[in-house]
Amino acid sequence: MGTATETLPFQAETRQLLDIVIHSLYSNKEIFLRELVSNASDALDKLRLSALEQHALLDEDPLLEIELTPDSRARTLTVSDSGIGMTREELVQLIGTIAKSGTRELVEQLKAGSSGEAAATLIGQFGVGFYSAFMVAERVEVVTRKAGADTATRWESAGDGTYTVSEASRFRRGTDVILHLKPVDPESGLADYTSTQVLKALVKKHSDFVGYPIKLKEVKDGVPAWTTLNSMKPIWTQAASEVGDEAYAEFYRHLSHDWQDPLDRLSLRAEGRLEYQALLFLPSKAPFDLFYRDQEYGLQLHVRRVLIMDRCRALLPPFLRFVKGVVDSADLPLNLSREMIQQDRQIGQMRTWLTRKVLDHLAAMLADRRETYLKFWSEFGPVLKEGLAQESEHADRLLKLLLFHSTREAPEPTSLAEYVARMPEGQASLYYVAGESRAVAERSPHLEAFRARGYEVLFFVDPIDEFVAQSVHEFEGRPLVSVARAGVEPGSESERKAAEDARRARETELRPFLAFLEQTLGDTIREARVSSRLTTSPACLVAGEHDLSPGLERLLRQASGKDDEGVTKRILEVNDGHALVAKLRALHAASPEDPSLADAAHLLLGTALLAEGAAPPDPAAFAAKLATLLTRAL
């Protein structure tokens, strides 16, 4: 530290990102202004929010505004704000590095070959607004003074791998971003960003609703004058017909730092004991950090149009963390602290109401705009499912929103209600098969009897589906059942009873052979029984009625880091109608001491495990036994 000028390298990922911003993003360069204005507006918000507790910050300098100063001779454009500012450390931390989760993944994806539009989409979704300055400037200077500090810092870079920081002076708190503009070049989308006309149009188009005045410096006959360019109208208080889709989209981009259009929006108004309005957006793409623990989320909370909290988590449950937007209350006190918000009863009621409204909106989307819903589902489906695994309060609404692929072989997933509507006569339960992937689930031997009956079975192949299955036991009064559980078979009650009686009779006959299997495979299986569910496979493993499913057990083991501990033994079901089982049984009856019997038993178990995508307990031994057997057979 000190007054000296330091030259520092950008962090590797930042450099790569910058390189892509500078060299690959061709279209829509004008968005740099929206991004810098958004940052300025955020900095002003932060100052205002800090001043709620430290009044001196605002009393010293009550001016809250954004200034645009073009200089056509020097070919610079300066975007200034009187916001929170940055310290030297913050400047290095916030601008020199990208400390976000998912940065490496983003750079990997970008390097994997997306250019132009696709890169812009990825970068925009990630939110690196400041760097967009390098699309239009060959050099960028930042001069910033943190609120409450005496000194300022200058940051400067040509976006070429390094930047410099040095001490500077600034008259008051806040930040100037000085763009040394590239030459005007309409062909590569570079307009004259020192032209007051161009700047006026850009602010109107992208930033009209910003809540602070955006003032443009115009010099007429040598006399400078400031013109406010934006209307500052809070967009959520206006009628939708007055606003228009494009302005809503701009507002969404401002709020979310996303560069794309939102997928959908909802305007809500609660009138009753509590009066509040909300303008909420669903993004069209899931953000990179959706599943990271440190993901920042929450709605902006305003009280009578004044922002009182930026990312208020208390207004929505975690399973709706992807929703962006604003809530504006008429009743809450202006001085509500973060701690109070967590416990406030009104906030709790608002959260319940908002959650219901969002879920109802999604249900309507599924009913009326399926294409849109499918897009939504492919991005955010797994997050919604968390809601079922975490809490039961909204389970009924959430269940209606679930989509699954199934044995129906349709390109589109099905809802539970649609599944029920297709259930043939006699089918009383909803069935699912769990697996690591659709390909594995599809080939599960557990499906055989259901296929034979023409019953549809849902694929639970998302890791979180195991938790969904664990917490959801029925849908509209009908049980939701895994096909891989002991005793689960298709058919009506009386059919199942008849099948069970027949099975038992066969089992008595096969008892000596089953006992042999239990003895030989006792390390891995709990019990061997005759199956009535298999038609083509010789054997499969099923979970006991009250056991955790193997998939869930695996997830829990991974989560606890104890990989091999406490695996619940399952039941081996054998298909006594299968030729292999018949032969083994005959061999066992004739010469119970035959050494190849044990090998065959291990192979039978191993293939049952392979069929569900799992590995035999000792893969090397399995392979050796198989090779020996094949050699003998060929």
Residues that bind ligand ADP (CB under 6 A): 39-40, 43, 81, 83-86, 94-95, 127-131, 175, 257
Q: Which contiguous run of DSSP H or E holds residue 336?
A: none
SS3 at position 103? helix
| Gap between the Cα atoms of 381 and 403, Å rounded | 8
Q: In what order do the strands lie in the sheet with 474-475?
A: 458-460, 430-434, 478-482, 474-475
Kindly provide the b/e burial profile for residues 311-349, where b requires at least 16 CB atoms within 10 angstroms of the residue's own CB. Answer: ebbbbbbebbbbbbbbbbbeebeeebeeeebeebebbee
- Nearest residue to 95 via CA among 156, 139, 43, 20: 156
Least distance between ligand ADP and beta carbon 127 (Å) = 4
Least distance between ligand ADP and beta carbon 38 (Å) = 7
> Which residue lies nearer to ligand ADP by CB, 173 or 585?
173
DSSP E strand boundaries for 319-415: 324-329, 403-404, 414-415
- Nearest residue to 574 via CA among 604, 539, 525: 539
- Which two structure tokens, joined as six digits, stand for 301? 């909370």
Q: Are strands 474-475 and 478-482 parallel, antiparallel or unpaired?
A: antiparallel
C-beta separation of 105 from 115 below 8 A:
no
Least distance between ligand ADP and beta carbon 50 (Å) = 12
| Gap between the Cα atoms of 431 and 454, Å rounded | 12
> Which residue lies nearer to ligand ADP by CB, 261 or 527?
261
> Which residue lies nearer to ligand ADP by CB, 175 or 230?
175
> Which residue lies nearer to ligand ADP by CB, 257 or 446?
257
> Which residue lies nearer to ligand ADP by CB, 126 or 513?
126
Instruction: Give the Cβ contact number of residue 2 at 10 Å.
Output: 8
> Which residue lies nearer to ligand ADP by CB, 212 or 319?
212
Read off φ and ψ for residue 166, nearest 5 degrees.
-155, 165
Instruction: Give the Cβ contact number of residue 351 at 10 Å.
Output: 20
Q: Which contiguous run of DSSP H or E holds residue 32?
A: helix 31-51
Least distance between ligand ADP and beta carbon 113 (Å) = 24
| Gap between the Cα atoms of 411 and 413, Å rounded | 7
Least distance between ligand ADP and beta carbon 128 (Å) = 5
> Which residue lies nearer to ligand ADP by CB, 127 or 325?
127
Sign of the CA dihedral running 430, 436, 440, 445: negative
Q: How far is CA 394 from the centre of its chain?
A: 19
C-beta separation of 434 from 484 below 8 A:
yes
Least distance between ligand ADP and beta carbon 72 (Å) = 23
Least distance between ligand ADP and beta carbon 185 (Å) = 24
| Gap between the Cα atoms of 625 and 600, Å rounded | 8
Least distance between ligand ADP and beta carbon 15 (Å) = 14
**Side-chain-facing half-sphere of 93: CA atoms under 13 Å:** 7
Least distance between ligand ADP and beta carbon 45 (Å) = 10
C-beta separation of 285 from 260 below 8 A:
yes
Q: Which residues pair with 214 in a beta bridge?
A: 66
Question: By CB neighbour count within 10 A (0-12 exposed, 13-18 middle, 19+ buried), where does 267 fall?
Answer: middle
> Which residue lies nearer to ligand ADP by CB, 86 or 483?
86
> Which residue lies nearer to ligand ADP by CB, 18 or 326?
18
> Which residue lies nearer to ligand ADP by CB, 255 or 457?
255
| Gap between the Cα atoms of 469 and 450, Å rounded | 19
> Which residue lies nearer to ligand ADP by CB, 32 or 276?
32
> Which residue lies nearer to ligand ADP by CB, 38 or 549?
38
